[in-house]
Amino acid sequence: MMKQLVSAAALLAAASSSVYAQNTLPQTNDPYFRSAQSALQERLKLTPNTNRAKNVILFVGDGMGISTITAGRIYEGQKRGVDGESNILGMEKLPHAALSKTYTHDAQVADSAPTAVAMVTGVKTRNDIIGLNSEAEVGDCAGSKGKEVLSLAAMAERAGLATGVVSTARITHATPAAMYAHSANRDWEGDANMPPEAISAGCKDIAQQLVAWPYGDGFEVIFGGGRDRFLPESVNDPEDTDKKGSRKDSRNLVEEWQNRYSNSSAFVWNEEQFKKLDANTPHVLGLFERSHMRYEADRTKDNGGEPALAEMTVKAIDILNQDPDGYFLMVEGGRIDHSHHDGNAYRSLEDLVAFDNAVKAALEKVNLEDTLVIVTADHSHVFTIAGYPKRNNPILATVVEVDGKPKLGKDGKPYTTLGYANGPGAVKEGEPRPQPVDTTAPDYKQQSLVPLDSETHGGEDVAILAGGPWAHLFDGVVEQNYIYHVIDHATKLGERSGLRAAAQ
């Protein structure tokens, strides 16, 4: 018995000697191992950039939770015919990252209004509130007076910088509105959306506040949708000529905006006009749809033509770059969110790719030595990636496991990798779950658990990805309103605009 044990030990020692003959780990030549070693070496080369940020671009992917980024990464790679799982989006090449806690003053799960306010004013407020602190009550116009908070855009204008806001949603929608408006209700986008008592109490609709924005000389660039909030009921829309504006006060806010800047402005509403814009135009208002701009998947079907988000971003940078003092720009991919609400992953991922293309286009234009670029989301969605699909399984398809066999539910039917915890794709009560068919079709709605007309936001943390001056301050898990404070620190906007926080 002893001889057998000695013999076994000798064989093990011989095998070990063979494997570790060169005193190297056996996994050293494994491609995953080597890739991670390379990533570590690149990370070790990073040094904090403590330059003052001349320019800031804040990218907000509305509803772009972690699961949306992951699914979008796979989707974008598979569209290009490469390995989606190991694919890297443009935004993911930014060197610094953190997690952002998106709860609001009164809610575990946020809407887009208070989250945008947090990012651009430094305070958390209530759901449905724009540009007011947490003491304001939703819908209380009279009580909102004196509770206004100032945005980074207003501070930038006071400091002499150029400013811009770009969105694929209505430009009066929650995220862009946080840049300039103060409203006790995010829905007060036009006067037709306001209750008479709010108008009587002196509150202004969001579109009116944009046109009359009093800081500096106003925004140099405004690109988005939402024409009907700017045009009166008596005026035909320039694109949908059988439809009119929605304003009941007879005011044409487009004309008022143009008159404010006289000959130094341009108003555009279609792709042809957009392409002809001169970067030297001091003030540009582009409203490309009556309501929200088209989903990226449907953009080319628009009658008047719409620029892509990447094109609007590049044009905005070109115009804002004319100011030698620098600029502050917010860019929102607004419709990632809307398609999630509709339970339609295809259009959401298409808009995620368009948003990422805008980030990539910006990074090709700017210098991270003097430009702080931040990519984040306002909130997540109840969007899931589930099952055990094999590597390279089409992300919009049903689950096929690593053994090549379709994975079936207990009802004997396949299910999709992507799904929603609630929303319009739920099975009707008492009816069997339908067989998933044409799951990659643009109009397919993924199955959801709880039946709702509109899928809801999710409450988990979202990503912050950043590069440029002081981007290294995005580290760990932070409050969402911390984003404002990093931007202010990087730019010194508070000091430069003559505004300082009160002494502690």
What's the pLDDT at 196? 97
- Closest C-alpha to 377, from 472, 478, 464: 464
What's the pLDDT at 264? 85
Q: CA 363, CA 137: separation in Å to the nearest integer?
A: 40
Q: CA 481, CA 495: separation in Å to the nearest integer?
A: 19
Compute, in degrees rounded to 10, the torsion defined by CA atoms 331, 384, 113, 499: -60
- Closest C-alpha to 354, from 89, 173, 67: 89
What amino acid is encoded at 208 in this protein?
Answer: Q
Residue-wise DSSP of 463-487? EEEEESTTGGG--SEEETTHHHHHH
* pTM for the predicted model, two decimal places: 0.95
Residue-wise DSSP of 49-115? --SPPSEEEEEEETT--HHHHHHHHHHHHHHTTS-STT---SGGGSSEEEEEE---SS-SS--HHHH
Q: Which residues pair with 384 in a beta bridge?
A: 419
What's the pLDDT at 24? 84
**Which burial class, exposed, middle or buried, applies to 72 when counting CB atoms under 10 A from its CB (0-12, 13-18, 19+)?**
buried
Name the helix (H) or strand (E) containing 362. Answer: helix 345-365
* CATH class given for the domain over 55-382+458-496: alpha beta
What's the pLDDT at 12? 47
Q: CA 266, CA 250: separation in Å to the nearest integer?
A: 22
What's the pLDDT at 7? 56
Q: Which residues contact 203 (CB under 8 A, 6 or more apart)?
A: 141, 144, 183, 184, 188, 194
* Six-digit token string for 59: 């990218």
Chunk the chain into consecutive blocks of 10 residues (it has 504) and report each block's average pLDDT, rounded to whole numbers: 48 50 85 97 97 98 98 98 98 98 98 98 98 98 97 98 98 98 98 97 98 97 98 97 97 97 92 96 97 98 96 98 98 98 98 98 98 98 98 98 97 98 94 95 97 98 98 98 98 89 60
What's the pLDDT at 359? 98
What's the pLDDT at 499? 83
Domain residue ranges of the chain, discontinuous segments joined by +: 55-382+458-496, 388-455
Residue pair 31/469 in contact (Cβ under 8 Å)? The answer is no
Q: CA 193, CA 378: separation in Å to the nearest integer?
A: 24
Task: Collapse the DSSP code of 134 into the 3-class scheme (helix H, G, I; strand E, B; otherwise coil) and give the result.
Answer: coil
* Residues with catalytic roles: 112
The two beta strands, 371-376 and 55-61, are parallel
What's the pLDDT at 497? 87
Q: CA 236, CA 220: separation in Å to the nearest integer?
A: 26
Task: Count the neighbouring beta carbons within 10 Å of the beta carbon of residue 2.
Answer: 6
- Closest C-alpha to 296, from 241, 353, 230: 353
DSSP letter, residue 416: B
Q: CA 451, CA 460: separation in Å to the nearest integer?
A: 21
Compute φ and ψ for 168, nearest 5 degrees: -90, -5
